[in-house]
Amino acid sequence: MFETICATCHGNTGQGNGPAAESLPTKPRNYTDAAWQASVTDAQIKDIIVHGGQAVGKSPLMPANPELEHDQEKLDGLVKIIRAFGKK
């Protein structure tokens, strides 16, 4: 899911440099940023994934994924990917 949906904006390396990022007025989150990684909980990441940016005071261009709300396995997998970018 990350490669097909999230990487479009966040990039395959998680640096916020996906192919769609250039055209966005607000640049996507850079997941390699250690300060951001330290400032956010796994629960907050899941909340943004499920409810979208606007619901949590972030960019309204970050779409919601409500179909994942009850799919803890996929949410945990996405958080694991996002967290791994902070360890590189």
**What does the pLDDT look like over 41-67, one tens digit per residue?**
999 999 999 999 999 999 999 999 999
Structure tokens that stand for 60 in this block: 């309204």
Q: What is the DSSP letter of 14?
A: S
**What does the pLDDT look like over 4-55, one tens digit per residue?**
999 999 999 999 999 999 999 999 999 999 999 999 999 999 999 999 999 9
Please say whether the dihedral angle defined by the alpha carbons of residues 57, 63, 69 and 72, taken in this order, is positive or negative. negative
Domain boundaries, the chain: 2-85
d(CA 42, CA 78): 10
